[in-house]
Amino acid sequence: MSLYTDLRAQRKTFIYHGYRFGADFIEYEFSIDDEYYFTPKWEFDAALTEGGYDRALAERAAFSLGMAELVSYWKCMCCPLVEVRCGGLDEWEKGWWKKLYFNGLGEFFYRNGITPDFNDFMEISAPLPKKLPARDDRLSGVLVPVGGGKDSVVSIELLKKAGEAISPYIINPRGATLGCAAAAGLDPKSIIGVKRSIDPLLLRLNSEGYLNGHTPFSAVVAFSAELFACLKGLRYIALSNESSANEAYVDGTTINHQYSKSTEFERDFREYCSHSFGSGAPEYFSLLRPWSEWQIAREFVKYPQYFSVFQSCNLGSKTNTWCGKCAKCLYVYILLAAFLDDDVLTGIFGCNMLEKEELAPMLDGLMLDGTDKPFECVGTKEEVRLSLKMACDRRRGALPPLLKRFCDKFPDYKAVDLGGYFDRNNFVPEKFLPLIGGKA
C-alpha cells in the first residue's frame, strides 16, 4: 500500500472550519479529522479596511482565498472528503475547485508516484452560497502583482507609458520586490504589501515525511489580488504571465508546473469571478499573455535600472541573490544572454553560468525535445534554443562550454523568428492592447 492510499484510509476528512476577517488580518482555520489544526494567516495595513470598500465582495473573496490556501494543507494527507463549513459553494463552484486542485497538483502527484482519478481523488461538500447584491463598478487603477522578476517589471513599465495609476501588490515584501517598485519610481504609499504566514504544523508534518510537493500558488495570488484590489477600489488586476507558461513539463503528458499561470487557468478564473463575484469585481487578466518569454526579455533589457535589483531565483530569494546553480538562474541567464554581454550578466548573477559544465543536464532539459523540463517557471524549448543561438552569434572567440554543447546538439539550427509573435488567445482589455502591439 502506498503512503497516499494509506493516509487516505486513515484520515477521511479535511475541514474548512471558517475564517476571521479583522481590520488588519485574515486568519483561516482548517483541520484534518478535527485532530490536526492549521491556522494560516494574512496580515496587511489596517488603512485598507478603513475606506468604503464592498464588504460583501471582500467577504466572498476572503472565503475563496481560503479555498485556494487549503490545498497546501490538504496535500499532506490527501483526505478523500473536503468539508466546507463556512461561506458556500454551488455545484458549478465545487467542480471548478476540483479541476484547479487536480490540475494544479499535477506535478505533486507525478513526483510522488500518485495516479489519481479525477472523479474520486476528492469530494467537496459545502453549504449553498448567499447571493451577492448588485455593485457599483465605477473603479479605476491597476493592481500589479510584483514578484521581483523581469516579467512584472515589463508590465509596470508598459502601464506607466499608458499613464495608468499602478498599485504594486507584494506578498511577503523583500529586497527584490521593493527594489523593483523603487526602480520603477512608484510612490511607496501605492504599494500593497501583505504578509502571508504558513502554519508551522504543516512544516513539521513535511519534515516528518508526510506528502509534500508543488501546489498552484498563482491561484493564491489570484484570489488574494481580487481581495486587495477590492479593498483598495481598483478596476484591474494585471498579471505578467506569458504564453510560454502553457507548455507541458513532462514529455507526453499535460503536467504543467505553471498550470495556475496558464491561459486555461486565466480563462477559468475569469469565469469564476463572473459567476461567484458578479459584475463590478476587479477584472483579472495577464497583460503579457500575447508575448513569449523571449519577447519579454527583449523588452526588459531596455530598462537597465532594474539590473541590480531584480531577482527571480527561488533558492536565493531569502537573501536576494542568484544562487547560480539552479535551472531558473540558468534559464534567465540564457534568455538575457541573447541581448546582453557576459560582463553585464556576471554583474547581475555573480558568475558566468554558460561556463558551468556541471549544469549540462539542466541545459538539456531546457532545450532538448523528448526530455522533461526542470520544474521551475521557465519558458519553451524553442525560446531557449533561439536565445542560445543569439548568444552564440553575439559572442566572439571561443564559446563557453554550454554554448558549445548547444552547437554540438544543434549544428544546423535555423533560428525561428519570434519578433512578431502575438498569441491571440488572451484576455487583455481593448484599452491595453496597443501597449503590446495589438489593436484596440
Question: How is residue 422 written as a grid cell?
Answer: 502575438
Question: How is residue 184 written as a grid cell?
Answer: 520603477
Give pLDDT, residue 241.
96
Closest CA to 125 of 97, 92, 85, 77: 85
Which helix (H) or strand (E) segment holds residue 237: the answer is: strand 236-239
Count Cβ neighbours within 10 Å for each residue of 77-98 and write b for 16 or more, e otherwise. bbbeebbbeebebeeebbebbb
Give pLDDT, residue 137.
64
Residues 194, 170: contact at Cβ < 8 Å? yes
Residue 378 CA to residue 248 CA, distance in Å, equals 11
Residue 65 CA to residue 235 CA, distance in Å, equals 19
**355: helix, strand or coil:** helix
Which helix (H) or strand (E) segment holds residue 194: the answer is: strand 192-197
**84: helix, strand or coil:** strand
CB-based contacts of 319, cutoff 8 Å, min separation 6: none
Amino acid at 162: A
Give pLDDT, residue 52.
84
Torsion 356-357-362-363 (CA) sign: positive
Burial class (CB in 10 A: 0-12, 13-18, 19+), 252: exposed
pTM for the structure as a whole: 0.95
Amino acid at 42: W
pLDDT tens series, the chain, 440 aa: 699 999 999 999 999 999 999 999 999 999 999 999 999 999 999 999 998 889 999 999 999 999 999 999 999 999 999 999 999 999 999 999 999 999 999 999 999 999 999 999 999 999 999 887 766 666 789 999 999 999 999 999 999 998 999 999 999 999 999 999 999 999 999 999 999 999 999 999 999 999 999 999 999 999 999 999 999 999 999 999 999 899 889 988 999 999 999 999 999 999 999 999 988 899 999 999 999 999 999 999 999 999 999 999 988 888 889 999 999 999 999 999 999 999 999 999 999 999 999 999 999 999 999 999 999 989 999 999 999 999 999 998 889 999 999 999 999 998 888 888 999 999 999 999 999 997 75
Q: How far apart are the first and last CA of the chain?
A: 57
Distances (CA, A) of 240 to 55, 80, 321, 322: 28, 35, 22, 21
Could you give the count of Cα atoms lying within 13 Å of 299 in the half-sphere of its Cβ?
22
Domain ranges (residues) in the chain: 3-135+192-286, 312-409
Give pLDDT, residue 17.
98
